[in-house]
């Protein structure tokens, strides 16, 4: 993500924030100091598992949230999730907010509003339409943003493929015997996708103004505060039922803490392109979660539509990273010593043993010795407790 020049790398749009939040803005393959980290084949296996685990955890968390809707409503459930996630992130990040000026506060506040709108509208959408189609349609937001920022014809083709998949999903992708998608739910998830695109843009500003996790942690708290007027009655109703408390905690942990943590591990060990392609599987994972956990099956054409959106997302990420790959160096690379070679040490002339080097300090007169008073010497010898504690010079 090129923040310094005011542009966004479209390849990062589908890799750093596809999970609606990222723990660290450090680019994959580089540590916090900018040093290259070369992932090995042994480290990529667990990293791939971490990405897939993050996708599964996020969608299972969304399924848990859907079970809270009858008691807490969509706004109350969103408030509970963001409030708990914000507290956990603030405890982990401990941002130095006292050092912030107007610029980081403005960016973080705007990011919090995007988070609130994105999560609230998405939860309101999955209360009306199945989870799999909701996540699939929501992907139009970042895909469209990537196409607009890249201005390449092939990215428009990827968006067209995703749009065709969404149209197919809305018209013929539902299970046999089920009705079509609720138009209000589709509109709400499109709003969520628009907030998602805005979240991506604002994240670049926050990443440039606030280091580490502090910006995301405070923004999550701002999002929770923004939903207090709308979600407080539902949140109180859900918390008043003790049997729902594990579900509330599970929603926050599964939909926020675990995905963010697993992403952080994977981002350090996977190339950006691989990370983005793996995250493109999220619509398929959401469709499976909706089917297995919420009883929301898709028809054959529905799975074809999900596959089209997955292919569009993966293709957009892959082509963007290929176009922005670093060029080969123009000049010759200087010869460097091979590992294991010992460079000759410079010849140093050391003084022979026994030689005394001249002192550089000037000759100064020795100070007069400080002698204790006779009374102090006598008192100390006698062991008297009232002996003077300091000795004056004679």
pLDDT band at 280 (very low <50, low <70, confident <90, very high): confident
Taking residues 189-212, report their average pLDDT.
87
**pLDDT value of position 317:** 74
pLDDT of residue 209: 82
Average confidence score pLDDT of the chain = 74
Mean pLDDT value of segment 59-63: 91
Residue 376 is predicted with a pLDDT of 39
pLDDT value at residue 25: 35
- For residue 321, pLDDT over 70 is answered with no
What's the confidence (pLDDT) of residue 121? 97
Half-sphere exposure of 316 (CA within 13 A, CB side): 36
- Residue 144's pLDDT is what? 84
Average confidence (pLDDT) over 16-27: 40
pLDDT tens by residue, 76-124 = 999 999 999 899 889 888 888 888 888 889 999 999 999 999 999 999 9
Query: What percentage of the chain carries pLDDT values higher than 90?
Result: 26
Q: What angle do CA 174, 294, 160 make, to 5 degrees?
A: 40
Burial per residue of 248-266, b for 16 or more beta-carbon CB atoms within 10 angstroms, e otherwise:
bebbbbbbbbbbbbbbbbb
Question: Given this model, what pLDDT does residue 33 score?
Answer: 32
Let me know: does 40 contact 34? Beta carbons within 8 Å: no
pLDDT tens string 148-184:
877 777 777 888 888 888 888 777 655 555 567 889 9
Q: Which H, E and C letters describe 150-205, residue by residue?
A: HCCHHHHHHHHHHHHHHHHHHHHCECCCCCCCCHHHHHHHHHHHHHHHHHHHHHHH
Q: Are 252 and 88 in contact (CB under 8 A)?
A: yes
Burial class (CB in 10 A: 0-12, 13-18, 19+), 182: middle
Out of 21-25, 38-42, 117-121, pick the least confident.
Answer: 21-25
Among residues of the chain, what percentage have pLDDT more than 70?
67
The closest alpha carbon to 290, from 159, 174, 386, belongs to 174
């Amino acid at each position: 993500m090129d923040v310094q020049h005011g542009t966004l790398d479209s390849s990062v749009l589908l890799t750093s924030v596809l999970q609606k939040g990222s723990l660290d803005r450090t680019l994959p393959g580089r540590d916090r100091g900018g040093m290259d980290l070369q992932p090995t084949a042994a480290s990529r296996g667990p990293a791939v598992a971490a990405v897939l685990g993050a996708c599964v955890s996020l969608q299972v968390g969304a399924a848990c949230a859907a079970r809270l809707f009858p008691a807490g409503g969509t706004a109350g459930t969103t408030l509970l999730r963001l409030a708990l996630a914000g507290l956990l992130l603030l405890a982990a990040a401990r941002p130095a907010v006292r050092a912030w000026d107007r610029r980081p506060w403005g960016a973080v506040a705007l990011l919090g509003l995007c988070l609130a709108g994105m999560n609230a509208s998405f939860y309101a959408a999955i209360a009306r339409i199945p989870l799999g189609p909701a996540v699939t349609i929501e992907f139009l937001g970042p895909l469209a943003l990537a196409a607009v920022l890249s201005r390449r014809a092939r990215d428009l083709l990827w968006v067209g493929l995703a749009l065709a998949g969404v149209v197919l999903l809305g018209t013929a992708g539902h299970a046999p015997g089920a009705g079509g998608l609720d138009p209000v739910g589709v509109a709400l998830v499109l709003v969520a996708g628009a907030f998602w695109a805005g979240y991506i843009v604002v994240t670049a500003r926050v990443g440039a103004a606030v280091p580490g996790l502090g910006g995301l942690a405070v923004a999550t708290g701002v999002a929770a505060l923004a939903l207090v007027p709308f979600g407080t009655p539902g949140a109180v109703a859900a918390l008043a039922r003790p049997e729902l408390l594990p579900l509330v905690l599970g929603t926050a942990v599964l939909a926020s803490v675990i995905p963010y943590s697993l992403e952080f591990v994977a981002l350090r060990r996977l190339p950006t392109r691989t990370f983005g392609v793996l995250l493109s599987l999220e619509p398929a994972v959401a469709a499976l979660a909706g089917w297995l956990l919420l009883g929301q099956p898709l028809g054959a054409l529905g799975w074809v539509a999900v596959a089209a959106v997955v292919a569009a997302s993966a293709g957009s990420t892959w082509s963007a990273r290929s176009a922005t790959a670093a060029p080969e160096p123009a000049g010759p690379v200087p010869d460097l010593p091979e590992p294991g070679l010992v460079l000759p040490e410079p010849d140093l002339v050391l003084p022979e043993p026994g030689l005394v080097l001249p002192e550089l300090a000037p000759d100064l007169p020795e100070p007069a010795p400080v002698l204790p008073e006779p009374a102090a010497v006598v008192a100390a010898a006698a062991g008297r407790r009232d002996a003077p504690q300091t000795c004056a010079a004679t």
